[in-house]
Chains A and B, each alone.
Chain A
Amino acid sequence: MTARDTNALSGSIFDDTTEITIVELCEVCSVETKLVDEMLDEGVLESTGGSREKRRLPYSSVRRTRTVVHLQRDLGLNMAGAALALELLDRIENLRARLRRR
Chain B
Amino acid sequence: MTIGLAMEFRDYYEVMGVARDATQDNIKRVYRKLARKYHPDVSDETDAEKRFKELGEAYAVLKDPKKRAAYDELGANWKDGQDFQPPPGWSEGFEFSGEGAGGFSGDGYGGGEQFSDFFETLFGQSRAGAGYTGRRDFNMHGEDRHARISIDLRDSYTGATRSITLHAPELTDDGHVVTRDRTLNVKIPKGIRDGQTIRLAGQGGPSIGDGKAGDLFLEVEFRPDDRYSVDGKHIYLDLPVAPWEAALGVTVTVPLPSGNVDLKIPAGSNQGSKLRLKGKGIPAKQPGDLYVVLDVKLPPAHSDKAKALYEKMSEEMPFNPRANL
Contact = CB atoms under 8 A, between A and B. Distances in A.
Given A15-B195, A89-B42, A9 B35 contact: no
Contact of A13 (B36, B189, B272): B189
A13 B293 contact: no
A23 interface: no
Given A30-B144, A71-B39, A101-B236, A12 B231 contact: no
Nearest to A10: B187
A49 interface: no
Interface in B252-307: 272, 293
Contacts of B107: 30, 66
B230 A100 contact: yes
A11 interface: yes
A75 B186 contact: no
Contacts, number: 93
Contacts of B115: none
Interface stretch (B8-16, B66-74, B116-124, B199-207): B199-207
A100 B229 contact: yes
B105 A8 contact: no
A12 B105 contact: no
Interface string B181-194: 00011110100110
B157 interface: no
B230 A66 contact: no
Interface of chain A, main secondary structure: helix
Contacts of B163: 4
Contacts of B112: none
A100 B231 contact: yes
Given A9-B185, A9-B203, A97-B231, A62 B197 contact: yes
A34 interface: no
Query: How large, as a class, is the contact surface on chain A?
Result: 20 to 34
A75 B189 contact: no
B197 A4 contact: no
Interface of A: 4-5, 7-15, 27-28, 30, 59, 62-63, 66-67, 70-71, 73-76, 85, 89, 97, 100-102
Given A13-B189, A15-B193, A100-B229, 16 more contacts: A4-B161, A8-B187, A9-B186, A10-B187, A12-B198, A12-B199, A13-B199, A30-B131, A59-B197, A71-B39, A71-B42, A74-B52, A75-B35, A76-B32, A89-B41, A101-B229
15 contacts: A5-B161, A8-B161, A8-B187, A9-B184, A11-B199, A13-B192, A14-B197, A14-B199, A28-B217, A62-B217, A73-B105, A75-B36, A97-B231, A100-B229, A102-B293
Interface of B: 32, 35-36, 39-42, 52, 56, 103-105, 107, 131, 141, 143-144, 146, 161, 163, 184-187, 189, 192-193, 195-201, 203, 215-219, 229-231, 236, 272, 293
